Amino acid sequence: MEILSVYSEEFKEYGAIVPGEYTELLKVLSSKPCPEVGTVYCPSDKDLEATPSFEYFSKNVYGDMPVQLGYCNGHNNKLNCLEYHRDSEINLANEEFVLLLGRRGEIENGKFDTAKTKAFRVPAGVAVEVFATSMHYAPIGEHGAGFRVLVVLPRGTNVNSLRLEGEKELWATNKWLLAHPESKEAKNGAYVGLVGKNIVID
């Protein structure tokens, strides 16, 4: 699968670069645990939220909305699922990583063909906004590399599991999820909305 740059024209349909000074934030992020197998997700971390970047993201990036700074760390090389929120998400890491993204507008009858997924490489130290119209999931580290990726979202996102009648994709607060049938999420009851190959990045 071709891996495109977040500086490419193609990425403009999915997200944007978020300029800023992130030295202290990245230093704190590098101290967070990175499991050797699988991933760990923390929606809100007090150490990350104690950095100057917390106010910057809240006021400058989200227009004075309450936000949470957390992380997704570990090792992953598969698509497995795609999720979306009603707001943009910001990602940033000390290490280069890959995002697999899909367009919400290409969901048809509740299904998304994974062949329409695009891969984008995010350089170390570069913050990217993933638009609310873009689906995403866990980061990917190429060639078995681990990652520590900052996740900035409106406060309350992903905090509680949520099931509402008639909302088959709704999996948690402000989190709509389409799972691949091979994923553990599907085995745990998530809506199976991905069709096609479960993409692997080696």
Is there a contact between 72 and 39 (Cβ–Cβ < 8 Å)? yes
Tokens of 4: 């495109």
User: Which three-class secondary structure state does DSSP give residue 157?
Assistant: coil
What is residue 142's predicted lDDT score, i.e. its pLDDT? 86
- Specify the CATH superfamily of domain 3-195: Jelly Rolls (2.60.120.10)
Contact by Cβ (8 Å): 96, 123: yes
* DSSP sequence for 16-66: EE-----HHHHHHHTTS---SSSEEEES--TTGGGSHHHHIIIIIISSS--
Looking at residue 165, its pLDDT comes to 77
State whether residue 185 is helix, strand or coil: helix
Position 57 scores a pLDDT of 98
Torsion-angle region of residue 110: left (phi > 0), alpha (psi -120 to 50) or beta? left
| Blockwise average pLDDT, block size 10, the chain, 202 residues | 97 97 97 96 98 97 98 97 98 97 97 98 98 98 94 95 84 97 96 98 92
Q: Whose CA is closest to 64, among 56, 72, 76? A: 56
How does DSSP classify residue 136?
Answer: B
